[in-house]
Amino acid sequence: MPVDNPNISPSNAPTQPVIRQLDDAAINRIAAGEVVERPASAVKELVENAIDAGATRIEIAYADGGKTLIRITDDGCGITEDQLPLALSRHATSKIDGSDLLDIHTFGFRGEALPSLGAVGRLTITSRVGRAPAASITVEGGAMGPVKPAALSGGTIVELRDLFYATPARLKFMRSDRAEAQAITDVVKRLAMAEPFIGFTLRDVTGGGEGRISFRAEAESGDLFDALHGRLARILGKEFAENALKIDAEREGLSLIGYAALPTYSRGSAVAQYLFVNGRPVKDKLLVGALRGAYFDYLSRDRHPAAALFIDCDPHLVDVNVHPAKSEVRFRDSGMARGLIVSSLRHALAEAGHRASTTVAGATLGAFRPEPMGALGATPQASASGPARIYQMDRPSLGARTAAYQAQAPFPQAPVVQEPGFAELSEAYSARVEPAEALDTPQEVPAEGLPLGAARAQVHENYIVAQTETGMVIVDQHAAHERLVYEKLKRQMAENGVAAQALLIPEIIELSEVDCARILAVSEPLSKLGLTIEAFGGGAVAVRETPALLGEVNARAMVLDILDELDEDGETMSVQAKLEAILSRVACHGSIRSGRRMRAEEMNALLREMEATPHSGQCNHGRPTYVELKLADIERLFGRT
């Protein structure tokens, strides 16, 4: 390299760099840094290999958070003795032939996992194919040993010990054993969701011996949706399965199946969002943004939906060869994938109607506390040692109830006597009970089969108590009517469009050329929402119209917010969110206020409208509008079961 600076003598000139070919051991250690970030990454790669091998049962054992031992046992097709050394060579795979890197139908296809693991740990593979003898091979720190005979009934056992012993610096970045074990559990659960017909067992063998089973999922049976529902109930819990909506949609080569929870079954973070593409667990911001966009009108900003969604498509429509860990994908038509998720979820939520999650009733029942077991007024300490309460309150027959109602009915001619203290009681408590149509007969629920039943009372001028065939419903009249008015306003806006107000002087906003192109690419959908943006030359845009409903707005701030949203989610909802926030406030002010007394016909009309209006089970902020208590639950509170 010539020295142009005269102040630098030839003896002080920089040394000419020399290009060297790295040896295989160094190459494998570098590759391992990309493929295997932590023990959970090794578990993911090995379990995916077992799934690709056609296994029906997979057992994962680990010790010390996977740092000292990871052992995967499967009953798959196995590896023949002569191919064991080839399986540990870089870029050697049985998954693809290399002719079409987009035609991928398996989890693995790079041929990097096994040699990478063998480069940074002590890896042993024992396998048997059919009735052929079993064989074993070991590689330590990249040094491969000979193939040896082994004893195995069938399938494959992959044992990885002392992960990262060959790269000690990597061990310093490992987290605690507990944190690494939790990461392994999360990986196994995601793969178990993707393969409901495969049985999974996760075992912690820290300290030796059989260890303890930390997760088990038996293979499910039935059709795909039944198997998936059972597997999700096992992993995400019974509550999710009870409150999840079935998703089954297809559009132009993309298929979407799975389950999405009701808005009232939401979480404080995005921990219950599981997305899969062609069976592969992925973390893709495009899909996460689509999921959030589908729920944005039903949940407040601090709440997150729960869902397990599976997109299947022709492998040529999606590129999974984006990242070595294969956790990111790129769709050929990303807008189609996003639109499929948004439209499918919104359709399912609309079909759910007024339905609210069962957890609302569970929380309500949990708020009730039974009376102490001792005498009325006794302290809990005294009653705890007292005798158990004895119930002799079997449900009476219809004839007995009829006689009881007649005996308890007041005489029509009897004058109303105001007992001492009654006035004070009536002022302190607000409740109105609708009188029975016929006091000498048991009161039956009219309009049999109506989900929200018939109104029976109004409590504190805010809560409607209705009787159903199977229990009772408590409705927040203000929240329920607020949602009804809001949905009505949204329908009117969709039918009549959004009125736009022209700016007297268009606002010119200077942007970079890239941002200018991005904002102009979405100018058409923005114009339908009342925001008109045009190119102004160079990197500038001109805002000519804004939504009239928003009044005076800061056009520059709105455009920048839209750009931030496009960068994060790939689509903007800012303008629509602002418009619907205005409609929500209008609905709040135009709905039935708390403290207003309602007549029986008004309460029943509200219940009927709720039954006919989608999304009426939650208010505009995602809170429930009603609580349903089954008669069995109520009787359990009173010890009748």
pLDDT tens column, 298-310: 777 778 889 999 9
- pLDDT tier for residue 424 given thresholds of 50, 70 and 90: very low
* 417 pLDDT higher than 60: no
* 357 pLDDT higher than 50: yes
- What is the average pLDDT value for the chain, to the nearest integer? 78
Report DSSP state, residue 549.
G
For the chain, count helices (H), then strands (E): 21, 24
First to last CA, the chain: 92
11's tokens: 């003896």
- pLDDT tier for residue 390 given thresholds of 50, 70 and 90: very low
The beta strand positions in 230-315, using DSSP E, are 244-251, 254-261, 273-277, 280-282, 307-312
For residue 49, count CB atoms less than 10 angstroms from its CB and return exposed for 0-12, middle for 13-18, buried for 19 or more.
buried
Three-state secondary structure call for residue 438: coil
Report DSSP state, residue 429.
-
The 454-459 sheet, strands edge to edge: 431-433, 454-459, 463-467, 471-476, 626-630
* 571 pLDDT higher than 50: yes
Q: Facing residues of 246 across strands?
A: 259
Q: Which residues of 348-379 are buried (b: 16+ CB within 10 A; e: fewer)?
A: bbeebebbbbbbbbeeeeeeeeeebebeeeee
- pLDDT tier for residue 113 given thresholds of 50, 70 and 90: confident
CA dist., res. 192 & res. 140, Å (int): 30
Report the pLDDT value the prediction gives residue 108, as an integer from 0 to 100: 58
CA dist., res. 327 & res. 321, Å (int): 9
Q: Facing residues of 307 across strands?
A: 260, 273
* Cα-based angle 383, 385, 386 (whole degrees, multiple of 5): 60
Decide if 96 contacts 108 (C-beta within 8 A): no
Report the pLDDT value the prediction gives residue 315, as an integer from 0 to 100: 82
- Quote helix, strand, coil % in the chain, to nearest 5: 40, 20, 40
* 383 pLDDT higher than 50: no
Q: Cβ contacts of residue 356 below 8 Å, gap of 6+?
A: 262, 264, 617, 618, 624, 625, 626, 627, 628
370's tokens: 């039974």
Q: What is the mean predicted confidence (pLDDT) over 455-466?
A: 88
Q: Which residues of 213-240 are buried (b: 16+ CB within 10 A; e: fewer)?
A: ebbebeebeeeeeebbbbbbbbbbeebb
Q: In residues, how long is the chain?
A: 641
DSSP, residue by residue, 179-192? HHHHHHHHHHHHHH
* 583 pLDDT higher than 50: yes
CA dist., res. 120 & res. 112, Å (int): 13
- pLDDT tier for residue 446 given thresholds of 50, 70 and 90: low
Of 36, 350, 373, 6, which is closest to residue 183 (Cα–Cα)? 36
Q: What is the mean predicted confidence (pLDDT) over 266-282?
A: 87
CA dist., res. 313 & res. 56, Å (int): 24
- pLDDT tier for residue 626 given thresholds of 50, 70 and 90: confident
The percent of residues in the chain predicted with pLDDT above 90, rounded, is 22
* Cα-based angle 551, 484, 587 (whole degrees, multiple of 5): 25
15's tokens: 């040394």
* 430 pLDDT higher than 60: no
CA dist., res. 631 & res. 464, Å (int): 17
CA dist., res. 62 & res. 313, Å (int): 35
User: What are the chain's domains?
Assistant: 24-217 (3.30.565.10), 224-352 (3.30.230.10), 473-641 (3.30.1370.100)
Q: What is the mean predicted confidence (pLDDT) over 51-72?
A: 93
CA dist., res. 24 & res. 7, Å (int): 42
Report the pLDDT value the prediction gives residue 50, as an integer from 0 to 100: 92
CA dist., res. 587 & res. 591, Å (int): 6
Decide if 125 contacts 73 (C-beta within 8 A): no
Report the pLDDT value the prediction gives residue 389, as an integer from 0 to 100: 46
- What is the per-residue pLDDT across 15-25, written as a single tens digit (0 to 9) for each? 778 887 777 76
- The amino acid occupying position 526 is L
For residue 489, count CB atoms less than 10 angstroms from its CB and return exposed for 0-12, middle for 13-18, buried for 19 or more.
middle
* 369 pLDDT higher than 80: no
* Cα-based angle 483, 548, 503 (whole degrees, multiple of 5): 160
Highest mean pLDDT among 162-166, 179-183, 594-598: 179-183
Of 240, 323, 317, 236, which is closest to residue 282 (Cα–Cα)? 323
282's tokens: 């992925």
* 562 pLDDT higher than 90: no
Q: What radius of gyration, in Å, describes the C-alpha atoms of the chain?
A: 33
Three-state secondary structure call for residue 209: coil
264's tokens: 């009232």
What is the number of alpha carbons within 13 Å of residue 50 lying toward its C-beta?
A: 33
For residue 169, count CB atoms less than 10 angstroms from its CB and return exposed for 0-12, middle for 13-18, buried for 19 or more.
exposed
- pLDDT tier for residue 265 given thresholds of 50, 70 and 90: confident
- pLDDT tier for residue 393 given thresholds of 50, 70 and 90: very low
139's tokens: 């590689």
- pLDDT tier for residue 296 given thresholds of 50, 70 and 90: confident
